[in-house]
C-alpha cells in the first residue's frame, strides 16, 4: 500500500515537472517571438525620437508645426532670430521635422541660419514642411536650399516634403494668389498629420 502511494505520488510529481517545463519553454518561446516582433517594430520606425523645429513669421507655419507635434506627441521648438542652437541637442533625436515659410523661393532666414550653426555628431533624417502662396515651383527651390544646408552637415533630407498654402499677408497678395486665401484650412492641418505619420512609417525604407 505504501509502495503504491509512493509510485502514485512520484507519477504526480513527474507530471507536474513536465507541465512546468512545457510552460517555461512556451513562455521563453513567446518572449523570443516578442523580442523579434519588437525588433521589427523598431526597424519600422515606431520608436523613433522625433522633434519639430520651425520658423514662422505670420503664424501659418507654426500651425502646421503644432499639428505635427501633437500627432507624434513630440517636442516642438520655434527657431527665431538669435536662437541659441545649444538649447537643442540633436543627438537626442532620430528624426527632425523642419518647418519654414516660402518667401520668394527662399526659406525663412532663421531656420537657415540655425542649420548653418548646428554640428550634430550622428547621422539623422530630416523632413521638410512649408507654407507658401503656391507660386510656380518656388517650393522646389526652397526644398533644394534646405537640402543643401542639411547635407552640408552630413545629414539627410527626405524627398517627400509637405507644402501647404497660406493666405497672403497683404491685400495685393490676396488678390494675386486667391487660391491661397483662407489657408491653412482644417483639411490642410489634417493632411499635415497624415504626412507626418507617413514619414515615420517610411523611415525603415529610407
Tell me the per-residue pLDDT of 163-185, one tens digit each, with 9 for 90 and over.
Answer: 987 655 544 444 344 455 555 88
Rounded-to-integer distance, Cα 97 and Cα 130, Å: 10
Q: How confident is the model at residue 42 (pLDDT cuts 50, 70, 90)?
A: very low
Domain range summary for the chain, segments of one domain joined by +: 1-43, 50-205
Q: Are 169 and 181 in contact (CB under 8 A)?
A: no
Cα dist. 85→54, 95, 144, 192 in Å? 13, 17, 22, 26
The structure's pTM equals: 0.72
Q: Are 59 and 65 in contact (CB under 8 A)?
A: no
Number of Cβ within a 10 Å radius of residue 168: 18
Per CATH, the number for 50-205 is: 3.40.50.360
Comparing 47-51, 63-67, 68-72, 149-153, the range with the smallest average pLDDT is 47-51
HSE on the CB side for 124, CA within 13 Å?
A: 22
Amino acid at each position: 500500500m505504501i509502495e503504491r502511494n509512493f509510485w502514485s505520488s512520484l507519477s504526480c510529481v513527474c507530471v507536474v515537472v513536465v507541465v512546468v517545463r512545457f510552460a517555461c519553454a512556451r513562455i521563453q518561446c513567446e518572449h523570443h517571438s516578442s523580442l523579434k516582433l519588437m525588433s521589427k517594430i523598431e526597424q519600422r520606425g515606431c520608436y523613433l525620437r522625433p522633434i519639430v523645429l520651425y520658423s514662422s513669421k505670420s503664424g501659418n507655419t507654426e500651425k502646421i508645426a503644432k499639428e505635427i507635434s501633437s500627432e507624434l506627441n513630440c517636442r516642438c521648438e520655434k527657431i527665431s532670430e538669435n536662437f541659441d542652437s545649444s538649447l537643442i541637442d540633436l543627438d537626442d533625436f532620430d528624426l527632425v521635422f523642419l518647418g519654414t515659410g516660402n518667401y520668394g523661393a527662399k526659406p525663412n532666414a532663421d531656420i537657415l541660419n540655425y542649420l548653418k550653426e548646428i554640428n550634430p555628431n550622428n547621422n539623422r533624417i530630416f523632413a521638410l514642411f512649408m507654407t507658401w502662396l503656391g507660386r510656380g515651383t518656388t517650393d522646389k527651390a526652397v526644398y533644394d536650399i534646405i537640402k543643401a544646408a542639411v547635407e552640408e552637415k552630413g545629414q539627410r533630407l527626405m524627398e517627400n516634403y509637405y507644402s501647404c498654402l497660406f493666405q497672403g499677408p497683404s491685400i495685393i497678395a490676396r488678390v494675386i494668389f486667391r487660391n491661397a486665401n483662407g489657408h491653412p484650412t482644417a483639411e490642410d492641418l489634417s493632411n499635415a498629420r497624415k504626412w507626418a505619420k507617413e514619414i515615420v512609417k517610411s523611415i525603415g525604407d529610407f
